[in-house]
A = this chain, B = another copy of it.
C-alpha cells in the first residue's frame, strides 16, 4: 500500500513544448507503424526520462513532408528535471530534423490541441522558371506566371467564417466543417531563391485545407479559374470542385496561439 501511495503522490506536471522540424524525411506528426514521426520521436525520447510510456499531444497533425517553425505539443510528466534540462536532453537525442525551441510549465488543463485559439500556417511558392537547389524541399515550384491580384481577390472570398467542406481532404470526416480564417497575408517573392509566402491565420484548419486552398489559388493565379468561382466552390461543399492539393513541401505550421 505504501508503494502505491508513493506512486500516486508523484507530482504530475503539464509541459508545453514548442517545436521546429524539417518534415522532408518524416512520415508526419503522428506515430506510424514505420518511419520517423515527430510524435513518435518525442514520445520515445520523453519515455526515457519518465521511465514509463508517455503520450504527446500535438496542436496540429501535420502530414508527411509538412514542416513546422512553431508546432506546439503538450505532455504530462512526473519527471522532475528542469525545463532547461529537458530541452537540452531532448535536443541531444532527437533527430537533427526535429528541435525543441522551448519547454515551459503550463496549468494542468493545458492541452496543445484543445486549448489552441488559432493557428498560423505559411505556404511558400517559388514563381520563377526554376527553383533554387536550397528551396525545392521547402516550396512549391510554379513556373507559370501568377497573377497575385487575382489570387488575392480569391483569397478575400475565403477570409471569414465559411463551411470549408469543399477544401477538406477526402476520407477525413469531422463534426463540423465550418472554420474561420481571420486573415490571409501575402509576401511577394522574387526569382528562384525568394518564395512568395501566403500566410493563413484561422481558428482551425481541416485536413489538407491549406494545401487545397493554395492549389485552388494557384489555379486562379495561372488563369485556369476566375476568382469569383471561389464562392461557387464553397457553396458546393464538394471537394471535386476545388483545385488540386498543393505539395506538402511548401507548407509550414508557423505558430499556435493560446
Contacts and interface: CB of A to CB of B under 8 A. Distances in A.
A88 B130 CA distance: 8
Interface string A126-141: 0001111110101000
Contacts of A101: 192
A21 interface: yes
A133 B88 CA distance: 15
A131 B99 CA distance: 8
A157 interface: no
A100 B129 CA distance: 11
Contacts of A138: 134
Interface centre among A21, A100, A133, A136 (most CB of B within 10 A): A133
Assembly stoichiometry (copies): 2
> Looking at chain A, what size class is its interface with the partner chain?
20 to 34
Contacts of A129: 88, 91
Nearest to A97: B133
21 contacts: A20-B132, A20-B133, A20-B134, A21-B133, A22-B133, A22-B134, A67-B134, A88-B129, A91-B129, A96-B131, A96-B133, A96-B136, A97-B133, A97-B136, A99-B131, A99-B132, A99-B133, A99-B192, A100-B130, A101-B192, A134-B138
Interface of A: 20-22, 67, 88, 91, 96-101, 129-134, 136, 138, 192
